[in-house]
């Protein structure tokens, strides 16, 4: 099996991207998406505008950068799930990776306001949904690879990997919206409730 673990250079780049995305997220929440410029982000992070653009091509990418970083880790986690595990269990475990990144920061941190900003800003929501679509395509490919490795490959025309993946990400969207609307529940609780509907 090919080693897919990132090298030092990639890990360093990912760490810098994460730091920039964190700072940008705070600024967008404090000042608003339209009101915050790339120059503002560069100043906050102590970089030149050109350096910021080495890591993020657009302003939209700055807002959605954390999702990109988490998506890579989610896919790596899915690849590492036990070979005999059911597809739905593996998808559940993959989405559960998000829980500590949401619940550990609390509602008063940047996480909830930034997610709300994404849902309420059409260009950001479109970008977020496009990223989810790309991740889902990668998830389907991984599920097919895992099925082959387990000796139980999906037929070429079997819709199961796509259907299960779409269902899992649909549950994720429902959970995100429910979490934003209900201050009493943790993200872990609302995600589990959404996924349990299809257990």
Tens digit of each residue's pLDDT (9 = 90 or more) over 89-141: 999 999 999 998 888 766 666 678 888 999 999 999 999 999 999 999 999 99
Q: Is 105 inside a domain boundary?
A: yes
- The Cα 164–Cα 143 span in angstroms is 10
- Within-domain flag for 85: yes
CB 63 within 8 A of CB 114: yes
Over the Cα atoms of the chain, what is R_g?
Answer: 18
pLDDT at 126 (0 to 100): 95
How many angstroms separate the first and last alpha carbons of the chain? 31
Listed residue (39, 125, 126, 18) closest to 31, CA to CA: 39
Weakest mean pLDDT among 6-20, 51-65, 154-168: 6-20
Domain containing residue 80: CATH number: 1.10.357.10
Domain that holds residue 77: 58-196
Asked if residue 179 belongs to a domain, the reply is yes
Model pLDDT, residue 158: 97
In this prediction, residues 75-100 reach a mean pLDDT of 94
Average pLDDT score over residue span 177-181 = 91
Is the pLDDT at 84 greater than 80, yes or no? yes
**Residue 143 belongs to some domain of the structure:** yes
**Which pLDDT does position 103 carry in this prediction?**
82
Q: What is the pTM of this model?
A: 0.84
Give the model's confidence band at 5: pLDDT under 50 very low, under 70 low, under 90 confident, else very high.
low
Joined tokens for residue 93: 């475990």
The pLDDT tens digits for 17-31 are 888 888 888 899 899
Choose between 3 and 16: higher pLDDT.
Answer: 16
Residue 176 pLDDT grade (very low, low, confident, very high; cuts 50, 70, 90):
very high
Total number of domains in the chain:
1
Q: Which residue has the higher pLDDT, 1 or 4?
A: 4
The mean of the pLDDT values for the chain is 89
Domain-embedded: residue 88: yes
In a domain, 147, yes or no: yes
Helix axes 122-149, 160-181, angle to 10 degrees: 140
Q: Is residue 42 part of a domain?
A: no
Assess if residue 152 is contained within a domain.
yes
């Amino acid at each position: 099996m090919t080693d897919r673990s990132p090298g030092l250079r990639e890990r360093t780049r990912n760490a810098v991207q994460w730091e920039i995305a964190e700072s940008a997220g705070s600024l967008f929440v404090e000042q608003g998406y339209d009101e915050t410029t790339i120059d503002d982000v560069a100043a906050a992070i102590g970089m030149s505008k050109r350096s910021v653009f080495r890591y993020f091509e657009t302003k939209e990418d700055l807002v959605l950068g954390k999702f990109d970083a988490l998506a890579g880790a989610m896919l790596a986690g899915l690849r590492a799930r036990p070979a005999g595990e059911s597809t739905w269990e593996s998808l559940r475990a993959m989405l559960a990776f998000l829980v500590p990144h949401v619940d550990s920061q609390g509602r008063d941190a940047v996480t909830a306001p930034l997610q709300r900003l994404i849902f309420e800003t059409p260009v950001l929501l479109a970008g977020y949904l496009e990223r989810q679509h790309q991740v889902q395509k990668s998830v389907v490919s991984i599920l097919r690879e895992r099925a082959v490795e387990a000796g139980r490959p999906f037929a070429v025309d079997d819709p199961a990997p796509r259907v299960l993946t779409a269902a899992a990400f649909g549950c994720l969207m429902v959970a995100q919206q429910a979490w934003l609307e209900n201050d009493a529940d943790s993200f872990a609780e609302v995600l589990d409730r959404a996924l349990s509907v299809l257990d």
